[in-house]
Structure 1
Amino acid sequence: MDRKFVEFRLAPDDISALRFGVSPGHELCHAVRALQTPGAHPLQWGWIHAVRDAVPSGAFDLLCVLIGRDGYFPDFLTASPAWDMTADDEVARLREAPLGPMRVDLGKMVERSAGARREALRRMRERPRSARAMIADAWREFWDAALAPHWPQLDRLLRSDIAVRSRRMTSSGIAAMVGTLHDSVDWRGDAVRVRTRLHEEIVDCAGSGLVLVPSVLARRCSVLTERPAQPTLFYPAHGVTETWSRDDGAGEAAIAVVLGAGRARLLHVLSEPLSTSEAAAAAALTVSTASEHLTALRRARLVDRRRDGARVLHWRSPLGEALLAANA
């Protein structure tokens, strides 16, 4: 059987051509698919069991029509992934999505469907403005019920993956990092090459670069290549087990036994750069106590820091991310 590949062509050894991002919308689309076909998503069984009774049926049914069980889903459902992307950003952008490209995406879905689903998609394409509002409402309702309660764990796993990949790229180079993304991804000279089932394309990323986006809920790699979207490669995050969604406090408690409760809380709140006073407030500590704990965490290489004008910012190091992910 002939193998098909998408090649993202980059300048050789140009680390700046690669960046990482997070996509709440991508996670939502694969969450809808996992709930439709639980047997094909064994790593999501814990999450499925936790949320299935809370999923709003109307919103879920609409999203199932739109997203399907496998293959392509509409590009307008996700914004360009970014480091600081939030669900609020995604749904706000969705409510203002350009109607022309949206009709094109819906047309692709019409061609890929049949029966009642095809008719429903055709009606959306014919009335894109009302469809956009209806889809955005369903997106928000599903997110709030099924993903918002678990987003802290999801976000921690995604950022842990990014931290490890970034460190590997800096220390060992692009080729070494790319080779660890997934068994369907490799580095060929000046290109990130992705083995695909149906799609074959060469994408020139000169001037735009390539965004690498880890996913907890996706089973396999996927790509985004059509302009004006940024060339993007989605890949399964490492460290995902069937218990990833559990939030019973055991992870923080286990870390607290080793580090102490205050240091464990600080480590949890430093998912983004915070000043000493901001970190102290988030962890419910005095500034002086937080400063002492941050010094200890930095000496243990669990926290990094840098100066930003008059402020010193602190955030979890790759080692700190890995420690939290292991106890998620």
Structure 2
Amino acid sequence: MDRKYVDFRLAPDDLTAIRFGISPGHELCHAVRALQHPDRHPLLWGWLRAVRGRIPNEHFDVLSLIIRDEGYFPDFLTTTPAWDTSPADEAERLATIPPARFDLDMHKVLARSTGSRAAAVQRMIDHPDQARAMIARAWAAVWDAAVAPVWPQLERLLRADIAVRSRRIAIVGIGATVGDLHPRVQWHDGAVRVELSLHSEVLDCRGTGLVLVPSVMARTGCMVLTEPPAQPTLFYPAQGVTESWARDAASAERALSALLGPARAQILLTADEARTTSAVARDSGLAASTASHHLTVLREAGLITSTRAANRVLHVRSPLGEALLGGHSGG
């Protein structure tokens, strides 16, 4: 069988050709898929056990209608990944999906549907205003029940992945970095090449760039956005995701305390924002000299990074520290 590829052509020496984004919509779509088929997502079982009893069935059924268990789902659900995209941004955008975008994407869903699903999708197409409002309500309800409770942990894992990839691009370049995203992604002849199952395409991204978007909920492969108005986008599985990523904060703190000791565990857990040594000491109830010693140990272990700003030294959790926490913090 011939392999299919999407090539995102870039200038190999242009570090600005790559930017990173976060997509709450993409996370929710794959959360829906995980809830449809829990057996396919073992790294999400801890999260699934916690949320499965509180999913609003009526709203979940609306999303399940347009988010199949594999393959295409509407691009309008995931077309705005940016560094500062928030769940509130996504919800607001979904309430005002442009009619032409809605019609185009829903006809793609219709072409991939049969039987009662096709009939229900056709009714949505026939009544677009009602359907768009229904989808926006369903998105908000399922988000609040399924993803909002773990969004702080999930978002930290995403940002930790981005921090590692960004630093790697600066050190070893675009080619080596994208080749490490996923087995189906490689740098090939000036392009980010993604192996897909259904079609081949070449996009010239020089001048527009490519958005790389890590995902916690999507664990099995990569997805791409290639059609305007979306900017060329590649979604890939975030690194550092273990089966315990969604555990409660208390169990995470107990495990860290056993590994690092209570004082260092507490410092690491609360290091999601940059603080001075005196602030760390105050927040932890320690003497400044003791806090400084613990920060030195954590920094030498690669769990904390310290940078000078004017006459102050600020300490914050490193990507390695984020991975050790599994997405948890004390904040």
Name the residue aligned to 1:35: 35
* Residues 302 and 320, structure 2, Cα contact 8 Å, conserved in 1: yes
Name the residue aligned to 2:233: 232
Measure the CA separation in 2 of the matches of 1:309 and 1:89.
35
Measure the CA separation in 2 of the matches of 1:308 and 1:229.
38
SS of residue matched to 1:52: helix
Q: Say if 1:267 and 1:94 are closer, same or farther in 2 by CA, change over 3 A.
A: farther
* Residues 12 and 175, structure 2, Cα contact 8 Å, conserved in 1: no
Partner letter of residue 148 of structure 2? A
Name the residue aligned to 2:124: 124
Name the residue aligned to 1:19: 19
Measure the CA separation in 2 of the matches of 1:109 and 1:81.
21
* Residues 305 and 316, structure 2, Cα contact 8 Å, conserved in 1: yes
Mean alpha-carbon deviation: is it higher for 158-167 or for 17-26?
158-167
* Residues 303 and 317, structure 2, Cα contact 8 Å, conserved in 1: yes
* Residues 186 and 192, structure 1, Cα contact 8 Å, conserved in 2: yes
Residues 177-326 of structure 1 mapped to structure 2, 5 A cutoff = 177-218=177-218, 219-247=220-248, 249-257=250-258, 261=262, 263-271=264-272, 274=274, 276=276, 292=291, 296=296, 298=299, 301-304=302-305, 315-325=316-326
Q: Say if 1:213 and 1:253 are closer, same or farther in 2 by CA, change over 3 A.
A: same
Measure the CA separation in 2 of the matches of 1:262 and 1:143.
35
Mean alpha-carbon deviation: is it higher for 309-318 or for 87-96?
309-318
* Residues 62 and 135, structure 2, Cα contact 8 Å, conserved in 1: yes
Measure the CA separation in 1 of the matches of 2:120 and 2:207.
39
In the superposition, the TM-score normalised over structure 1's length comes to 0.87
Partner letter of residue 78 of structure 1? T
Structure 1 unaligned residues grouped into runs of 5+: none
Measure the CA separation in 2 of the matches of 1:315 and 1:210.
29
SS of residue matched to 1:53: helix
Q: Say if 1:262 and 1:103 are closer, same or farther in 2 by CA, change over 3 A.
A: farther
Name the residue aligned to 1:105: 105
Measure the CA separation in 2 of the matches of 1:95 and 1:5.
34
Measure the CA separation in 1 of the matches of 2:21 and 2:213.
5
Measure the CA separation in 2 of the matches of 1:97 and 1:176.
37
* Residues 276 and 291, structure 1, Cα contact 8 Å, conserved in 2: no
What is the CA distance between 1:326 and its match in structure 2?
A: 8.5
What is the CA distance between 1:19 and its match in structure 2?
A: 1.5
SS of residue matched to 1:242: coil
C-alpha distance after superposition, 1:269-323 (max 9, x if no partner): 444x55659x76xx95589969956964556543345577999765422232232
Partner letter of residue 149 of structure 1? P
SS of residue matched to 1:70: coil
* Residues 17 and 209, structure 1, Cα contact 8 Å, conserved in 2: yes
Q: Say if 1:313 and 1:100 are closer, same or farther in 2 by CA, change over 3 A.
A: farther
SS of residue matched to 2:240: coil
The answer to whether 1:47 aligns with 2:47 is yes
**Identity rate of aligned residues, in percent?**
55
Q: Say if 1:300 and 1:40 are closer, same or farther in 2 by CA, change over 3 A.
A: closer
The answer to whether 1:138 aligns with 2:138 is yes
C-alpha distance after superposition, 1:104-162 (max 9, x if no partner): 11111111111221122112122222212111111111011111112222223222222
C-alpha distance after superposition, 1:200-259 (max 9, x if no partner): 110111121111111111121110111111111111122323333222523223334555
In the superposition, the TM-score normalised over structure 2's length comes to 0.86
The answer to whether 1:68 aligns with 2:31 is no
Measure the CA separation in 2 of the matches of 1:153 and 1:310.
32
Measure the CA separation in 2 of the matches of 1:113 and 1:318.
42
Aligned residues: 326
